[in-house]
A and B are shown apart, each in its own frame.
Chain A
């Protein structure tokens, strides 16, 4: 049991921004968010978040439901443009489909409730369906997991120890910097390639590494909101088997060496890595237009028993940074904050990892968490 609890904690840690919601869910849109490239460059994003003042994450919060659950998903749009939520793959009825024209728009200041039944366990997505070509590349997407209480993938399917949601996406920096000037849409060519909203060296942060306990299968929940075709290369030591696609069991599960994931597709792959293994799943991003290799990422997977250095334990991260009204920490439950003059600013508990900085003086601050880790962040006007 102790091992299982440990692995669950690690699984949660490796989810990064895909943090589970507290029920009942109330999503808000936002159009003034930022994500940060590995070199620290801030990139504007649009998206969804749990709070009403525009604090959003990339990707949007993970939505989790149990099989058979009747879901009421509340959505409020305080942003200056209309948005929707399309529940991709959940086969919801027309009224709840989130498509302007056949369903309805949620205009500025509007709110609605999307209702549907989570009839099938599996991996699904959600995204805005307003001017979709633009709103997706701006970041308005997230993942939906429908799971079973007995921790099997589907009725009669294999049991597993933990879920690891992995949402692949990309963006074109020029479009995000100037969405109004992004026309023509057919010419969008991504140049940032992400897993759970981060890329490159960011995926080596301790909270992004997928840890496993030997003998306990890990369910990789793979979905793509990219413009690219994803190519995932699984080393043989992972013993990867694909059991599901698009929220349905595949008729014959198959071992996976290379898996292509096209935009909007999902797969559930169980890995049961060999003991003491430490390596990477290669994630290649191929252009859908001319089939050139545009980018690559490595997903780090390792045995939880392997040494985790103190440096990695210090890798707590906050975003957005600079922050305007809120900053979301990757983990931690309580912290103290000092300004650069060494003055204590606050001592507080975190709610869902969020620190409110609304009204703070612009400047640099140092956060010290209850376990001694520290992080520097900036509050902007």
Chain B
């Protein structure tokens, strides 16, 4: 933590952070598909340009500095934009429209944002806003992000067909993702797979977009909670098993104090499966080189 504070202090002193160089100016809402086994599941993604991407982009902002973001809706359906921070209003984004969104001034940490309408949310248009977190390109503190979610692929097909889920039907999630990928594809994602040298420090921004609470267990390490939208009383706690509540975004700091390869996974063990097969789902690794 000391190192982080030091690095941020240096950046503030140099005026780098307050220039808002990390802010994204535009985002596109697009519909595509997600290959789950032999099935193609309709999904929505938030992309950095008009080209399709199978993962949602993340957003960055300087601390206590508001900004604007233009959202372009390329989908055939209207959507609603939200930011998971107090006082932020939802904004309608009609199909084909481009709407400027105000990003509020926020304290350091991670926040959820994305789409809150039924199809936008449950087909995957959710990501995070990182405020004042260091940039690996200008700071030796590495930054990773994990967008967590749980999915009922049957429900996704139903929603994509224009149906409303039966509120009385039991929720049976069968896919569990980090950055829209399931293990083992998670460890091919440079934002999900944590790779450090011995003694390095990193921050991991985590957001839970699912319908369930998730609880991440770190093998080999304790992490320190740096920020949390739903459990601010836990900031400063050192944990190896970290609940990330439904709708929560948090930031944790990890110090790589021993070499090796260590799993990180949801300890709600139904979530380390892909369509019922173990291992899979919400599972990635930390690799620390000697």
Q: Which A residues are within 8 Å of any B CB, using their own CB?
A: 86, 88-89, 91-95, 97, 99, 102, 131-134, 136-137, 183-188, 227, 229, 245-248, 250-251, 254, 260, 262-266, 288-290
Contact = CB atoms under 8 A, between A and B. Distances in A.
Contact of B222 (A86, A88, A91): A91
B96 interface: no
Contacts of A184: 174, 273, 275-277
A89 B222 CA distance: 8
12 contacts: A86-B219, A89-B241, A97-B262, A99-B219, A102-B261, A134-B278, A137-B269, A185-B269, A186-B270, A247-B222, A254-B233, A263-B241
B84 interface: no
A221 B190 CA distance: 38
Interface residues of B, number: 40
A132 B219 contact: no
Contacts of B243: 260, 262, 265
B270 A263 contact: no
A82 to B, nearest CB: 14
A245 B272 CA distance: 24
The listed residue with most A CB atoms (<10 A of its CB), out of B213, B219, B272, is B219
B221 interface: yes
Given A91-B221, A94-B261, A247-B240, 7 more contacts: A89-B240, A102-B262, A133-B273, A184-B174, A186-B275, A264-B267, A289-B172
Contact of B278 (A132, A227, A288, A289): A132
Q: Return the 4 tightest CB-CB contacts between A and B, nearest first.
A: A184-B276, A94-B260, A264-B267, A264-B241
Given A248-B239, A262-B215, A227 B221 contact: no
Contact of A133 (B215, B220, B239, B278): B278
Contact of A185 (B236, B240, B276): B276
Contacts of A264: 215, 217, 241, 267
Contacts of A102: 260-263, 285
A289 B222 contact: no
B174 A186 contact: yes
B220 A97 contact: yes
B170 interface: yes
Contacts of A91: 220-222, 240, 258
Contacts of B271: 186
Given A132-B278, A289-B171, A263 B240 contact: no
Tell me if B's interface is mostly helix, strand, loop or mixed. loop
A188 B220 CA distance: 28
Given A245-B239, A251-B236, A262-B243, A93 B260 contact: yes
A134 B212 CA distance: 20
A288 B212 contact: yes
A93 B276 CA distance: 30
Contacts of B171: 289-290
B185 to A, nearest CB: 16
Contacts, number: 124
B220 A92 contact: yes
B219 to A, nearest CB: 6
B268 interface: yes
A227 B215 CA distance: 11
Nearest to B236: A251
A236 B89 CA distance: 40
Contact of B172 (A88, A133, A137, A187): A187
B222 A246 contact: yes
A227 B268 contact: yes
Contacts of B278: 131-134, 185
Given A102-B262, A102-B263, A264-B217, A133 B222 contact: no
B277 A185 contact: yes
Contact of B237 (A94, A134, A136, A248): A248
Interface in B216-271: 217, 219-222, 233, 236-241, 243, 258-263, 267-271
A136 B220 CA distance: 20
Given A93-B220, A184-B276, A246 B172 contact: no
A250 B259 CA distance: 26
Contacts of B233: 254
B270 A246 contact: no
A133 B270 contact: yes
Interface in B114-171: 170-171
A133 B176 CA distance: 14
Nearest to A92: B220
B173 interface: yes
Contacts of A260: 243
Given A185-B270, A229-B213, A263-B268, A290 B170 contact: yes
Contact of B220 (A94, A250, A254, A289): A94
Given A102-B263, A133-B270, A288 B213 contact: yes
A187 B269 CA distance: 11
B267 A263 contact: yes
B277 A265 contact: no
